[in-house]
Structure 1
Amino acid sequence: MHRIAYLAAIAYTVISVLYVILFSSGNNPSVYILLLFFGLQFFAVGFLFGNLRAIAMQPLGHIAGIGAAINGSISTVMAVPITNYIGSFVSDSVLPLFIGFSIFGVLSLLVFMVLKRDAKLARV
């Protein structure tokens, strides 16, 4: 689960950064190109969220229902203000959306790296 989530986070970040690099001039791509990028992005999100939820639920097997409810509510409470802020910049281009994807993709990769480093230190 950890490896799949890490690879999905890399894909998520690379796809969004690639979009930002290609279309940072402000010109909107065709709707087919946009749908391609969204499709790739949400494919990565499917692997990322599914595995991260499973990792979060791993120690809560004995209280899975309550754990899933708490996990879902906390992630929603965190996501709503972030999406409202990023969404406020979207007017006639989706570039701000992909910039937000890029920023939080890089942050998630940093979290993965810190957790991997801490796991290696705990084994020593």
Structure 2
Amino acid sequence: MNGRNALGRYGEDLAARRLREMGMAVLERNWRCRDGEIDIIARDIDALVVCEVKTRRAGPYEHPMSAVTPRKAERLRRLASHWLGERWLARYGRPPAGGVRIDLVGIVLPERGAPRVEHVRGVA
């Protein structure tokens, strides 16, 4: 595993922990299909949450929260639709009562100290 992959994996671990602390159930991580990947899929009461995770080291890089562009949001919606059809509907036979929400967890790793984890609900 290279440094970039390790950084991403660490960020996803932090994000999954944060979502669980908020009472969500993490259903799947790093789900892939031919159109792309969803970092974390969770359930928040009766809503299905597709969660994009962006991790950055502190410095001159763009803030992780700026990572979900309209194009990226559309791709996440498309991926969520694939996952719903392949996994959720096969198991439950109907869409989630609370609908589907796209969240973003942005993580900044300072040179020293604890990571800053920010969770934004419904980014797209």
TM superposition score normalised by structure 1? 0.29
* Greater relative CO, 1 or 2 (CA 8 Å, sep 6+): 1
Richer in strand (by share):
2
Give 1 or 2 for the bigger CA radius of gyration. Answer: 1
TM superposition score normalised by structure 2? 0.29
